[in-house]
Each structure stands twice: as C-alpha cells, then as structure tokens.
Chain A
C-alpha cells in the first residue's frame, strides 16, 4: 500500500468510528461527518457537472465549433441565463419560461414512461398469468403458474379494496363502507403487511451488508497494521 492508500484507509477508519458514535446519541462529531459527506458530494457533483456538462456541451461548441454548432450552443446558454434570473425576486418571472420547459419535458417523460413501461405492461402481465394458452407457451408448470396468477389477482383486488374509502351518500342510513368491501379490505391488509415485511427485510439486509463491509474493512486495516509492525 502506498502512503496515499494508508492515509485514505486511516481516514476512512476514523470516519467510520465517528459515524458509529451515533449509537451514543446525536452528537457534534456525527453531525460534522454528515456535513463533510454532503459537502464532498456536492463539491464532487459540481466538478463533474462543470467538466462533464457545462464546459464540453455549452462553451466548447461555442468556442471551437462552427456556424450551426455555435447557434445550437446558444440555446442552452440562453435558457440557463434566464434560469439564473430566479435568484432576483424582481426578474424571477423571466426564469419561469425555462422552468416551465424543464417541468413540462420531465413530466411528459415520467408520465409516458410510467404508463407505457409500468402500468400497461404490468396490468397485461397480471392478466396473462391466468391465460392458460399463453402460460402453456411460456411455462411447462401450468398449475403452479395458475396458482401464482390467482394469488396475484386476489392480492391486487383485495389491496385495492383496502384503499377504497369512497361510499355512496344515503340520507336515511349511516354512511359507511359496504360490508363486502370491508371484508376484502381485511384480506388486502394481510397482503399489505406481507409487502411491508418484505420491504423491511430488504432494507435490513442492505444495511447489514453495509455494516459487514465496514467491519471487514476495519479488521483488514488492523491486520495490515499488525503485519507492518511485526
């Protein structure tokens, strides 16, 4: 290991210990590490954006490019300039135009992707599970696939029923959910609980892996130090 590696490893070990100090409670050292981490991330992100985006994509074509490239390079520069006016309350309205463009494009991309990439395909996939002919084409174990499809169908319907809060208004009777919807909702509650349990297990597993990574790093560092002195 080079000296730079040693310094980096020791620094990493100290920072790991300071993060673990949160076990004692919220303290200044832990906050200092948080600020350090956020500052480093922001600084690195700014550097990447400047060297990877702003200079090569905005100013380089303007300086080194030719006619059409220079004109095209002006578009993002002008839009970015208009966006900077947001810092002044007096001229902030000028920044609304590029902001509206950004929000519109982002929303269109997100909604289009969600509908065409998730909503419709997943709905069709849930329906296909109960399509016997289609299932035979994909999977030899038809029975298991049908059972899987039925469980998914029941889970989908009952979970939707669990989040059903609308009722029909009735003057003569007390407004409440219909009994059969409440019963479906009770079943849906079981599916929701299983889903949350699954999510918790995944999060815990990820966190445990990160903890093991830090422990292994510390142990290997101490073993290296011991080998160095022995």
Chain B
C-alpha cells in the first residue's frame, strides 16, 4: 500500500498522511482505504453505467459502502458472486457509518485544519511544507502556528460545547467546515467527488449493424443515380407476330382479289334476310320508306356492301326514301351511299328521296321525331321545306306522312349497338302494335348481331327483318338473283375468314403444345 485516497476528493496521498494534500480532508489510514486496482475498476464500471473510469481510481471502501445505495447494490449484485455483505458492526471504523455516529460525536474533537491529530499514530507526520515552516523558528508565524496545536489539546471552549450540546448532529471532521456540528450532509452521489465517467461519443455499432448501414447507404445512393432504361429490341416477338399475321392475311386477300376466278358459293338461306325480302316484296307501289343512317365512315364499306342488294330490291319496287340520322356524319354518308354508283338506280333528291339531315339530342331527339316528324325536321339538309314545299304540297317521299307509323317500312343502317338499341326501344311500341302496317328492318354490321338478334327472335317482334354483315348481304343477293354483291368481295371474305380461323387454331395449339413440349424436354434433360 503506497498510497491512500482521499474519501472526499478521491486523489491519492502518501500513506501516513492524516490530511489530504489537495483538499485537506481527513484521511483514515486504515487498510480499507487502500486500493485494490482490479476491484476498483470493476466497481467503477458498474457505477458509470459500464464505462470504466479512465484515469481515476476510486476508493471503494470509503465512499461506496457508506452510501446506502451502494450497499444495496452490493447486496443485490454481488450475492451471486459469492460476496457477502459485512455486518453492520464491521463498519464501525467508518466515520460516517450509522453504528458509530454517537461515538464519533464524542470521540472526535474539533480539529484545526492546520493541526494534526495528537493521538495519531506514527504515520501522522506533518506535511513537509508545514515541517519546514515549523523548523524556521525565526519566523514569527512559527510561534503563532504552534499555538493552535496546543489549543487543540485543550478542552473545548464553552461556545463550542454549547454548540455541540445544541446541535446533536455529528461534528464535521474535515474540510472547510471542520469542527462545525449539524452540518447537513450532501447527497451521497453528489458528495462523492470524482471525475465523471468518460463516456464515449461514438455510437457502439456491431459489425453486423455496420454491414446493414453500408447496405442501406448503397441502396440510397443507387436511388439517386439515374439508371438507363433497358434497351428494347426494335423487333420484338410481338412485332414479328403482328407482321406475320398481317402478311398472311393480306397475301390471302390480294391473291383472292387478283387471281381467283371462280366465285365462292353464296349462302343458301338466311332467315332474317329472307324475311326482309318478303317484306319488301309486299310493299305497295311508291311505298314510303324511312331510312335511318347511323353508321360511321370506318364501317361504311361493310354496311354499304351489305345494304346494296336490299336497296336495289327496294328501288326496283319504286320505294320513296326519307333519310334521317342521329349522327352528324349520317347525312353525308347517306348521300354518298345513294350516289356511289354501286346501286342500280339513280335517285333524285326531292323527287325520289329527301334527306332530313341530323336529329340532335340522341334518344330524346328520336322521341321527338317519332312523335312529331314534321315539327322536328321541317327542312331537308339542303334547306328546303319538306312538308310544305313552295307548291304547297309536301315532297313526294313524305306525302301522306303525318306520324311515324304512316311509313310503310323503316330501314335502319347501323353499326353501333347503343344507337341500334335506342332506335329499337323507341320504335318498339309502334312496331309491335297489331294495328300498325309498318315494319322495322335492320341492316347492320356483323359485330351487332349478338345485340340485335334477340329483338328479331322474340315474340312479339320489335324487329321484323334482319340483314347482318356481309354474309347477310350475300344471302340477300342470292335471294333476288342478281349479281348484287361483287364476287371478288365475297371470295376475299371467304379466304380471309378461313385464314383467320387457321391462324387461331394454330395459335391455340401452339399455346398449349409448346409449353408442354418444353416441359417434357426439360424433364428428360433432368433425368439424363
């Protein structure tokens, strides 16, 4: 034991000193003030929350055990290590222990900070600086300095005794307040003078956590970096498929149009077309026909081709036409159809037909026209008064027409399911009336057949006749016995339909067979 540590400031002092060289605190020269470096370090680690004190050795035996918290800590933590808490009597040597507070008050005499304990042991030497001063007898301070030592040997002054009696607390034995009684002790943790634990400012990160941090950092950096889009091949599999189908279809159609000489047989019979044929045959001479033109230019080829045989038949019967449309493009398509040169008869505007133009308002406009044709469309598309011409008579196509069921027949050329449905729904009460002599006939695109056929099949029939698509037109052409439909058109249609069916069949087989084959090949490779 070379050094002893001050219980107040914690600094090392030579063994034998009674007072601390730094704070002049009382040093207890007992062995439990000595230091076991290893144990102290461990204890410091506990006190500082796991952070050992770097450069300070704290005397375990003085401050900590005197601290009740430390005792508790010792009891709870160290019992498992086989350490036993000493009995309370074993702390009697401690100045501040609870067991000897009373004796401390009696035994400890007031001590001057400059005077050593007269009853101290041999090691209670006077500090060197004090010794030098004492040896210097010529110095007047020496005489004065010796006086307090002697005084300290003397009994307590009356005032001091009075204070001691009045204040039952213990007398302070060290420090600036030495000799005073009733001094309130500070909190044990605060009173323990020592350096604060050296806490590291670095975050404790394990290697695994560091790896994760690096990974996250790299991910974030990658997010900010622009990545080039993957280069798409200019010719993808989809392109090849699309071009292949288009080439096959176009070659088939061109071949059929250019080189086929024999015309494919027209459909033998179509019930809807036959019904239309029958209705037209029953029309009176100069029958008034209302024609609704409600298709778009995109499907004009199909509708026109389908309607040509029907209108040739109708014109051969001398039917007078009134054209109307709920589409803005309808009036011009109607004019184009009548004057395209595909019809066998040339009709004259105002004499054989009149074009009432466009009805705005969709279903509401159509209702208005059905209920009051004269009020809804008083003028033709070229601006002439239809119902009351300059001669005072209506134009021939509308003579005798006061309401919609005065027409002998209503023919609707339509390619849109919604428009077809609106026409049928609004005309249905009139057409299904047993007293009406009018009939409704539809000439439609093939894509409308699923929508309009139920109206034709049902009883009572809101639709009396149906010519659907190119097939319906071909069937009608065969019924009237003329060369109404271009043979090349029908041949190309047959060839195109056949090729399309073949493509669908081959594609469907490939869709199911190719994955199965590749799966089988893979299985064989695994076996091998």
Contact = CB atoms under 8 A, between A and B. Distances in A.
Interface residues of A, number: 46
B425 interface: yes
B299 to A, nearest CB: 6
A127 B253 CA distance: 45
A133 interface: no
A208 B493 contact: yes
Chain B's interface size range is: 35 or more
A211 B328 contact: no
A204 B302 CA distance: 12
Nearest to B381: A52
Overall SS of chain B's interface: helix
B488 interface: yes
B94 interface: no
A117 interface: yes
Given A49-B328, A208-B493, A106 B363 contact: yes
A38 to B, nearest CB: 12
Nearest to B296: A41
A122 B428 CA distance: 11
B293 interface: no
Nearest to B491: A212
Contacts, number: 157
A210 B448 contact: no
Interface in B414-442: 415, 421-422, 424-426, 428-429, 432
19 contacts: A25-B239, A48-B357, A51-B381, A53-B360, A114-B425, A118-B424, A121-B458, A138-B459, A195-B450, A202-B447, A202-B449, A205-B469, A206-B302, A206-B469, A211-B249, A211-B496, A212-B492, A213-B302, A215-B253
Interface of B: 239, 242-243, 246, 249-250, 253-254, 257-258, 297-299, 301-302, 305, 328-329, 331-332, 357-358, 360-364, 367, 378-379, 381, 383, 415, 421-422, 424-426, 428-429, 432, 445-450, 454-455, 457-460, 462, 469-471, 486, 488-489, 492-493, 496-497, 500
Interface of A: 23, 25, 41, 44-45, 48-49, 51-53, 56, 105-106, 109-110, 113-114, 116-118, 121-122, 125-126, 128, 134, 138, 195, 198-199, 201-206, 208-216, 219
Given A199-B450, A205-B471, 12 more contacts: A23-B246, A48-B358, A49-B328, A56-B383, A105-B364, A106-B364, A118-B421, A118-B425, A138-B459, A210-B302, A214-B301, A219-B257
